[in-house]
Structure 1
Amino acid sequence: MATRYWIVSLPVKSSASSLWSRLQESISKNSFDTPLYRFNIPNLRVGTLDSLLALSDDLLKANTFIEACSHKIRRQIEDLEKLSGILSSSLTVDGVPVDSYLTKFVWDEAKYPTMSPLKEIVDGIHVHVAKIDDDLKIRIAEYNNVRSQLNAINRKQTGSLAVRDLSNLVKPEDLVTSEHLITLIAVVPKYSQKDWLSSYETLTTYVVPRSSKNLHEDNEYAIYTVTLFIRDADNFRTKAREKGFQVRDFEYNSETQESRKQEIEKLIEDQESMRNSLLNWCYTSYGEVFTSWMHFCAVRLFSESILRYGLPPSFLSVVLSPSVKSEKKVRSILENLSDSSNSTFWKAEEDGGMGSLGGDTDTHPYVSFTINLI
């Protein structure tokens, strides 16, 4: 699939079919690798010149917003598919591939009546896309909130022993709890393990000898148990901290363990459900935004062509997808076929001309703008 297209209109002096034939012949002879299609725009309601000029001022800004929304949804689809392990899908619009929808564009009269004022059509498209864009932000925020909660829990499960959740590392049988005794959990830097083993019994008076046991190690730390009299616990914490050992607060509770496990399982289920829901919504919304965008492009091409060539509407609109190496050649063909009396007038500003009505960087004696599908 090509990812970059030009939508172009050429002024018609005699007949559109004759100009179309000349264009096909020129492309075939001089740039045969350039796909070429008719871009069929119906007879839209022109309105007044003032209304067209006012509309033209808003078209570029609105197009930038709609195009950005289309790309945003597409990128979101790619990210979600990657997370779901789905091979990148071929997106469709109204049941056909995206590029086919563009190259075989048909105006939706039921959705956008041609007798409606152009501004009404443009405003309707903008409002519709803005609502989708707002919905996307809300849905992504909700999904990311669940992901953040799950990531925070996972960091506690897999992070450094100095901060991670110890509940899956400490078993009930590792702990001694009685009326007078308590087992504390100490986090010891790996390089200080010998120091810990040689000193923990004498840090305070009431430590049970040989009560320390290594439960787990990571790259930085090891966790050890130590059993002592409850009344000496606070003093032991202070003495341990002075020697660089961290005593973690920990209390084994089977109900808390089960509750935490259920919380994680629910978050995983919620994340999966929300990801699938968001992905399906994005598939649908991408199609809606893209169809809106193409109708917007048709209005934009129509209005700019009227402003460029005058009334009554008499122009040929086409879609091309030249390769990078063929661009200059195709531009030359289009310029030669324009044969417009105001060609010089529409040269680039640096050459003394007026520049493009649509605000495109490149200016030509015909209306042209680029559609980037990705």
Structure 2
Amino acid sequence: MASRYWVVSLPVQQSSSATSLWSRLQDSISKNSFDTPLYRFNIPNLRVGTLDLLLALSDDLVKSNNFIEGVCSKIRRQIEELERASGVASSSLTVDGVPVDSYLTRFVWDEAKYPTMSPLKETVDGVHSQVAKIEDDLKVRVAEYSNVRSQLNAINRKQTGSLAVRDLSNLVKPEDLITSEHLTTLLAVVSKFSQKDWLASYETLTSYVVPRSSKKLYEDNEYALYTVTLFTRDADNFRIKARERGFQIRDFEYNPETHESRKQELEKLMQDQETFRSSLLQWCYTSYGEVFSSWMHFCAVRVFAESILRYGLPPSFLSVVLSPSVKSEKRVRSILESLCDSSNSTYWKTEDEGAVGAFGGDAEVHPYVSFTINLV
């Protein structure tokens, strides 16, 4: 699939026809740039309206095109992100089951969706509002998915962060703790480099520590988690003394109900994340097709409006789609220019290629209508 296409319209002279111009273009491309794919871009006769309306519309066309193209890109990037997160192979994007490049190169106007007798501004506004609605829907759906991901990430950080901050419920078992009328077990977070110091000093930090009661439960890259058993009445004093030596005593109370509740919450969030991800991905596939279809209809309106303003009435032009390689661009531009009226070429091609300016503020200045569509 090519990733970059030119949409071009060439003026049909009074002594010629669109069919004969198409044949001449095909012949020139095949002889001088045979590796350049060439297709007809079939645009119906749309409702022209007045010149003033066309001029007013032209000011908005490039801006609207950038907006629609931007929404296409947003949805495509979201699809790529979701596919990576799901670990699924990237699939080809389609419009009504047709690959997007085929939809462009075999474009057919949807009369039922966009009646050709509707004013051009009404068609453009309809496309813009539809795409804006899809963009708003995308924001809502992505926010829902991101919210679940954020909750899940917060829980995962608590479960996988350093021992100084992480949730300890999945590291401590009931048998690791002694809780009675007089005895209690505390959990100490000790720097990996201070473990010898801890083992040598914990029994003497206060007077009521059970000898040899400390046991290492877990160790990460920074800290080790130890238990220590002592008289309950001495717990607060031990916390103070431990903090003075650089040991952190973590508050912890084993509660099987809380542990089970957290486990269920995690499982539910993981299920919700997968549900949202799957739903969002499916919605993106469908919506990308809708937006791309709208974009191609918008491009057809843009070609039509530009061609009327460039070549005049009645509409008489040939619109095509090409995909030249980078090395063939200059050659193809020369071919297209050779098929334009020489006076038209002189008017639009100036020495500084900026004196006249292109339609709608477009940067591409040629003696024919031309703009680029990037599919990826």
Deviation string 1:27-48 (CA, Å, 9 cap, x unpaired) is 0000000000000000000001
3-state DSSP class of the match of 2:318? strand
- Alignment pair present for 1:330 and 2:332: yes
Q: Give the equivalent residue in structure 2 for 1:246.
A: 248
3-state DSSP class of the match of 1:350? coil
Q: Give the equivalent residue in structure 2 for 1:83.
A: 85
Judge conservation of contact 2:60–2:360 (CA < 8 Å) in 1. no
Match for 1:195 among 152, 173, 197?
197
Instruction: Tell me whether 79-88 or 46-55 shows the greater mean CA deviation.
Output: 79-88
Alignment of 1:131-280 (within 5 A): 131-280=133-282
Q: Give the equivalent residue in structure 2 for 1:368.
A: 370
Amino acid in the other structure paired with 2:283: W
Judge conservation of contact 2:29–2:335 (CA < 8 Å) in 1. yes
User: 1:340 deviation in Å?
Assistant: 4.8
Amino acid in the other structure paired with 2:201: S
Judge conservation of contact 1:156–1:164 (CA < 8 Å) in 2. yes
| Structure 1 alignment gaps of length 5 or more | none
User: 1:352 deviation in Å?
Assistant: 6.4
Amino acid in the other structure paired with 1:78: E
3-state DSSP class of the match of 2:301? helix
User: 1:155 deviation in Å?
Assistant: 1.2
Amino acid in the other structure paired with 2:374: N
Instruction: Tell me whether 304-313 or 232-241 shows the greater mean CA deviation.
Output: 232-241
Match for 1:292 among 291, 294, 316?
294
**Aligned counterparts of 2:7 and 2:146: Cα–Cα separation in 1:** 37
**Aligned counterparts of 1:318 and 1:259: Cα–Cα separation in 2:** 63
Q: Give the equivalent residue in structure 2 for 1:93.
A: 95
The root-mean-square deviation of aligned C-alpha atoms, in Å, is 1.0
TM-score norm. by structure 2 comes to 0.98
3-state DSSP class of the match of 2:30? helix
**Aligned counterparts of 2:368 and 2:321: Cα–Cα separation in 1:** 13
Match for 1:118 among 100, 120, 139?
120
Match for 1:319 among 301, 318, 321?
321
Q: Give the equivalent residue in structure 2 for 1:4.
A: 4
Amino acid in the other structure paired with 2:48: V
Amino acid in the other structure paired with 2:163: L
Amino acid in the other structure paired with 1:217: E
User: 1:359 deviation in Å?
Assistant: 2.4
User: 1:353 deviation in Å?
Assistant: 3.6
Amino acid in the other structure paired with 2:47: R
Judge conservation of contact 1:38–1:103 (CA < 8 Å) in 2. yes
Amino acid in the other structure paired with 2:8: V
**Aligned counterparts of 2:154 and 2:353: Cα–Cα separation in 1:** 59
**Aligned counterparts of 2:155 and 2:214: Cα–Cα separation in 1:** 28
Amino acid in the other structure paired with 2:9: S
**Aligned counterparts of 2:28 and 2:351: Cα–Cα separation in 1:** 28
Amino acid in the other structure paired with 2:7: I
User: 1:338 deviation in Å?
Assistant: 1.2
**Aligned counterparts of 2:332 and 2:223: Cα–Cα separation in 1:** 67
| Structure 2 alignment gaps of length 5 or more | none
Instruction: Tell me whether 200-209 or 339-348 shows the greater mean CA deviation.
Output: 339-348
Rate the CA distance shift 1:172–1:352 in 2: closer, same or farther, 3 A: closer
Q: Give the equivalent residue in structure 2 for 1:61.
A: 63
User: 1:83 deviation in Å?
Assistant: 1.2
Rate the CA distance shift 1:10–1:340 in 2: closer, same or farther, 3 A: farther
3-state DSSP class of the match of 1:216? strand
Deviation string 1:256-308 (CA, Å, 9 cap, x unpaired) is 01000000000000000100000000000000000000000000000010000
Amino acid in the other structure paired with 2:12: V
3-state DSSP class of the match of 2:360? coil
Instruction: Tell me whether 351-360 or 75-84 shows the greater mean CA deviation.
Output: 351-360
Judge conservation of contact 1:349–1:355 (CA < 8 Å) in 2. no
Judge conservation of contact 2:40–2:319 (CA < 8 Å) in 1. yes
**Aligned counterparts of 1:339 and 1:324: Cα–Cα separation in 2:** 26
